[in-house]
Structure 1
Amino acid sequence: MIPKLRAWDKVGKSISSVSEITYSGDLSYLSFVKLSGNNRLYGRESRLADDVILMQSTGLKDKNGVEIYEGDILKLHAIFLAPDDKIGYIEYSPKYGYSIIFEGNRLYRQEYWASTNKLNYEVIGNIYENPELLREDTKND
């Protein structure tokens, strides 16, 4: 399986699909396809690797069929966590895989959230474009 990546462009302040990673001497460049608000393609860009943050797909989709990536903010409804919806963001760790980080840095490991009914979670944004969706003590600094 080829990993599916997207990138946060620190310069252009937008999320893009990665189309190519090129290594040239000591520098790494990423080429990506810029997406408009409704996900229509509108041109190619290249950036130095330090000017982007790569995010890999988890390979899972939410209740609306939206692919879930590192850095995505999810709304999760799971009675065993609490009767109310919880909001957290996806982060990868070698020890636990893709986990959801909730307020207070509580971790909900991939083996639990990925195996539950997909109708329980929904992508509502990402940590770069929608940080206001997270509470102050959940934000990834």
Structure 2
Amino acid sequence: MQGREIKFQVWDKDAKQMWTWEDINIADKEGVMCFLDMLQQDQFIKRQFTGLRDKNGKEIYEGDIVRAKNGVQIGTVIWVESDCKYVVRWTKDNPTKKVYDSNMSSAQWGEVIGNIYENPELLQPAG
């Protein structure tokens, strides 16, 4: 049995730059920055890969902003420690909907449209 892929993205608060998993691996190999060092510094915020992809095949990370299949609802992917799972917290007064559920494929619920660090305006009320 194969487990899910474990990888990260890292948001650099000071440089306002997202490090992809590929960027992190290159920096680590070239001696520019060690991933473990990044995790110990307050300027870096880790975003873990959920193991899921959206309807377009895009990887879904903690902190991603997603649009529901209906094209109206927008929410944020979060980790719920008490339940040990990722969920989408919808912003339009909807109950929390599950991102990871054995009865739901990622294609059924929508697409990644940004993330809370690079695109916070996507979560602002329209108008």
The root-mean-square deviation of aligned C-alpha atoms, in Å, is 3.0
**Which of 120, 123, 126 is equivalent to 1:134?**
123
Gaps of 5+ in 2: none
8 A Cα contact 1:6 1:54, kept in partner: yes
Aligned to 1:115: 104
Aligned to 1:101: 89
2:46 is matched by which residue type in structure 1?
A: L
CA gap of 1:117–1:66, structure 2 versus 1, over 3 A, is closer
8 A Cα contact 2:53 2:106, kept in partner: no
Aligned to 1:88: 75
8 A Cα contact 2:77 2:99, kept in partner: no
Displacement after TM superposition at 1:117 (Å): 5.5
**Which of 98, 113, 122 is equivalent to 1:124?**
113
Task: Tell me if 1:70 matches 2:62.
Answer: yes
8 A Cα contact 2:52 2:106, kept in partner: no
Gaps of 5+ in 1: 20-30, 35-42, 79-83, 137-141
CA gap of 1:97–1:117, structure 2 versus 1, over 3 A, is closer
Aligned to 1:13: 16
TM-score scaled by length of structure 2: 0.71
Aligned length: 112
Greater share of strand: 1
CA gap of 1:33–1:132, structure 2 versus 1, over 3 A, is farther
Larger relative contact order, structure 1 or 2 (CA cutoff 8 Å, min sep 6): 2
